[in-house]
Structure formats: structure tokens, C-alpha cells
Structure 1
Amino acid sequence: MGLFLSRLCGNSQKHNKSSGVITIHSAAQWKEHFDAFKESNQLLVIDFSASWCGPCRYMEPILKKYAVKFKDVEFVTIDVDELTEVAQQFEVTAMPTFILMKHGKEVYKIVGADKKELKKKIKEHKV
């Protein structure tokens, strides 16, 4: 649904079709994507990571796997070095940090590369 909304709005976000994960590259893209999900009951999983972060690289293929498995969940990745203001808005202090959101509100936050906890919370909070 997120990709549908993005295309409908003419959003130019990079969507990796094979992984199902959207990479956000600007504050404007983030705002547009976030605003589209404020009214949605769909779970939004935000992966705050960095290219230099070993645990982030470890979680990248796992996140892609979850995005394929949980088709009713929207997955986005935000590089904290590229969008520091967005990371600050969500009080991200370590990477990776995963924020799970519904209706524009945070429902759960995972700090660290805990794939079991992430999967558990996705199952718990998805539509």
C-alpha cells in the first residue's frame, strides 16, 4: 500500500522491488511518506542505520527478508548520517534502531540488532 501511495503522490523514493524496503534520501521524502501513513492502520517499520555500522549491515538482509515475508507491513530505511534531523526527531542514539509506528505514533522501539525481537514485535503490531 505504501508504494501505491508513493506512486499516487508522485513520490520519487527509491523502492527496492526485490527487497520491499524503501530507502528515504531527503527530509521532504520522509515527510511525504510519514504523512501518508498517519491515517493508515498499516504498520510502518523504520530502520535507522548507517553505512559504516556493522550491526546495521548484519540486519540489512534480515530486514529485506521480513519485508518480503510481511507484505502487509511497510519497511523504510533512513541513513542517520544522511538525515540527521529525522534521526534526532526520533531520538535515535544508537544504530540500528527500529521504530514501529501506526497512525503516525510510535508503538515500539528496538535499539540494536535483535532480529528475534523485531520479528516478534512486527507480528504483534501488524494489521
Structure 2
Amino acid sequence: MGGRLSSLDRVSKSPQSSRVLTFSTAAEWKTHFDSNKESDQLMVIDFFATWCGPCNYMLPIFNDFAERYKDVQFIRIDVDLFKEVAQEYQVEAMPTFVLIKKGKPIDRLVGARKDQLQKLIEKHKPRS
């Protein structure tokens, strides 16, 4: 049935975790972000680089968190492919994790600090 794909149909999932979103273009990211601006759902963005050792260390941890916290969106953005997005969020070191609710950054963590990231997720995730 020759229907058009929505922008979310083109969003790819990280091969390591089916719950981690990645994007092919900045336009796809913007469409996803704009469609979630009013949501109370916590969005955790991992700004990373493929050549970054600490980023690679955090990847399986980030994927584990994505599987554990089903009520939170987990997104990875490659700073080398999405320079404008990284600049918009003032990313100067990797990894940088930006936590967003209702379209606004509410917290951030710089560095490969698993326990601190988990504390921030716990602090800001929706209460059951």
C-alpha cells in the first residue's frame, strides 16, 4: 500500500538497543523533537563521537538504561554528524548527556559517570 512514511518511520534504532533512537538527518531530529515538545516524558540525549573512548565505554550502560527505564526516551546524537545540534546544546566535551522535558533542558552531565547519570534519570523520570 503506497502510503508515505512518517518521519518516525525513518528514525532508526541503535543496533545495540531497540529502545535507543538515532537519526539520519538533522531534519529528522528536529521533527522528532518538535513532536515531543509538549510531552512530560523525559528525553535523555547522549551526545557522543565514534572516536571517543569514554563515549564507547558508556554505550552499553546507556543501552542498559534504555531497557530498564521504559518510560524514558533515550536518544544518541553523533556530534560529528550533527554539529549544529551539538552547538545548540552547547556540547563542548563528550560524552555529554542532556535531559529534556517539555522541550527544555532540565539537567546535564558531562563525562562517563554511570552512577551520576542514573541519579539524574531517577530524579527526573515520571513518577509511577
Q: Give the number of equivalent residue pairs.
A: 121
Query: Structure 1 stretches (4+) deviating beyond 6 angstroms?
Result: none
| Pairing 1:13-92 to 2, within 5 Å after superposition | 13-16=11-14, 19=17, 20-92=19-91
Letter in 1 for 2:54: P
C-alpha displacement of 1:15: 1.6
RMSD: 1.5
Letter in 1 for 2:83: T
C-alpha displacement of 1:24: 1.9
C-alpha displacement of 1:16: 3.6
C-alpha displacement of 1:9: 4.9
Query: Aligned to 1:12, which of 10, 13, 19?
Result: 10
Unaligned runs of 5+ in 2: none
Unaligned runs of 5+ in 1: 1-6
Q: Based on CA coordinates, which of the two structures has the bigger radius of gyration?
A: 2
More divergent stretch after superposition (22-31 vs 114-123): 22-31
Length-normalised TM-score, structure 2: 0.89
Q: Distance in 2 between matches of 1:17 and 1:35?
A: 24
Length-normalised TM-score, structure 1: 0.90
C-alpha displacement of 1:76: 0.4
**Counterpart in 2 of 1:100?**
99
More divergent stretch after superposition (25-34 vs 76-85): 25-34
